[in-house]
Structure 1
């Protein structure tokens, strides 16, 4: 998963996960990946993108009404994940809602709007994983939401330059005003002292959310807990790299390399 997208911080369906969960997870990921690509990739118009997303929603409606979906994508989602694990449909509707929003909303007034977006774009993924694992405790769900929201925010901050090319700014408008940062500063593709402080400020909020949810990595036992610890450590490492680069996301987009993953695996194992 090398393309910049909402799921690159979720190595779902890896060989670390229990074998029995790989098929449903792959089906869920295929749905999310397809919907995300509809919203983000290609040269189709906004109306065409929304039409394609609405077709997926219609297929979900078929499942909700007890009818057979038409496309292979949705048939596999139903047969491999939804039906055998009795997965609620709301997380899938939430994902489509977020992707639909991506086709038309390019600015966010405040942090609350970003959190609401993450509630639908990222949190459903964590909730679906918990459901498959059989974990339904409210605290676990809340911690999962915090982790997923943090990862979504981290993805935004590492992709500021890339998102600008799509005419999207996820930095809250009120925070930009607070730190005296303008869209012209972002368009210049060069870090400024004000923008550096703003990104550091936003990263600090994401870090606090990530760490608040981190205990879930120990609550969940076995392979899923191990993978979640890796995900949490990976998000934290991205934040560290941003700090090490003095938050200059224009000069170099922070990513995890092979050496990072080796260290993360060791740390995830020791933190069990």
Structure 2
């Protein structure tokens, strides 16, 4: 999986138990397809929303026991039926993708986390369903990890999101909550002019610290899950934390240096996954 495309989705790597690779791939391709409908190309917002509604109708067909019209949803239908995956979680994903078409600003952290609840947390819950884990503590920890990964993706992509312009007015997407911008005396002019001054650095430090704390609150799940699934999750968690380190290493200047993982990062991530208490 490209780390630049759907970064809050764990990779169905060779660490994943072989029996789970197919349902994980089915979930991934559904999410990637729907995310592309919302984000990629130059279609008008109305066309994007109509395309997402067609995806929703495919979910309704699955729910009725019918056969979807296209390979992506037929593959998903097999996974849903074989593993009893809850369809409301897929509807939540579509809700979040549709929200990306029509909403470009978030008033508060609570509002942003509600978006994460639908854009990211369903992925973790679907994976726990595959692992046959459904206790309240594990679900809460999964939500924390997935929301943290989503936030990390937003903070590394501040400049990229600004350039996304789904409806023309206002320019770009800003996932940084508006009350946080005001608190640190940062304006959207900072984003438009790629201004990384003392105020912007203080804001980004706050966002990075919050994302790290959220990730740490979910990390016990990485030890709770057994065997290869636990290893997979520990690597994903450490990868997200490493991106936060990369943001800090460029002194929070995400305009000129998009933090991302390189070949040299993986030994560090692997070691931290191995030694995580």
Q: TM tier, shorter chain?
A: over 0.9
| Structure 1 runs of 4+ with >4 Å offset | none
Structure 1 unmatched runs, 5+: none
Kindly provide the CA deviation profile for residues 85-129 of structure 1, in whole angstroms up to 9, marking residues without a partner as x: 011101100000000001110011110111000000000000011
Partner of 1:103: 101
Check if 1:17 corresponds to 2:22. no
**Alignment partners' CA distance in 1, 2:4 and 2:23:** 24
**Alignment partners' CA distance in 1, 2:240 and 2:21:** 23
Check if 1:222 corresponds to 2:222. no
Partner of 2:167: none
**1:9, distance to aligned residue in structure 2 (A):** 4.1
Kindly provide the CA deviation profile for residues 178-207 of structure 1, in whole angstroms up to 9, marking residues without a partner as x: 111111111001311111111111111111
**1:3, distance to aligned residue in structure 2 (A):** 6.2
Kindly provide the CA deviation profile for residues 186-229 of structure 1, in whole angstroms up to 9, marking residues without a partner as x: 10013111111111111111111000000100000111100101
**Alignment partners' CA distance in 2, 1:158 and 1:232:** 16
Contact 2:17–2:228, Cα closer than 8 Å, also in 1: yes
Tell me the TM-score normalized by structure 2: 0.95
**Alignment partners' CA distance in 1, 2:174 and 2:252:** 16
Partner of 1:211: 216
Partner of 2:42: 43
**Alignment partners' CA distance in 2, 1:268 and 1:4:** 22
**Alignment partners' CA distance in 1, 2:7 and 2:114:** 20
Check if 1:268 corresponds to 2:273. yes
- Match of 2:190, SS state, is helix
**Alignment partners' CA distance in 1, 2:60 and 2:8:** 29
Root-mean-square deviation over aligned CA pairs: 1.2
Among 173, 181, 186, the alignment partner of 1:176 is 181
**Alignment partners' CA distance in 2, 1:8 and 1:108:** 21
- Match of 1:60, SS state, is helix
**Alignment partners' CA distance in 2, 1:64 and 1:78:** 9
- Structure 1 segment 51-62 matched on structure 2, within 5 A: 51-62=50-61
What is the aligned length?
A: 270
Partner of 1:150: 148
**Alignment partners' CA distance in 2, 1:74 and 1:15:** 24
Partner of 1:192: 197
Kindly provide the CA deviation profile for residues 211-270 of structure 1, in whole angstroms up to 9, marking residues without a partner as x: 000010000011110010111111111111111211110120111111111221222123
Contact 2:7–2:150, Cα closer than 8 Å, also in 1: no
Contact 2:8–2:120, Cα closer than 8 Å, also in 1: no
Contact 1:4–1:159, Cα closer than 8 Å, also in 2: no
**Alignment partners' CA distance in 2, 1:269 and 1:133:** 21
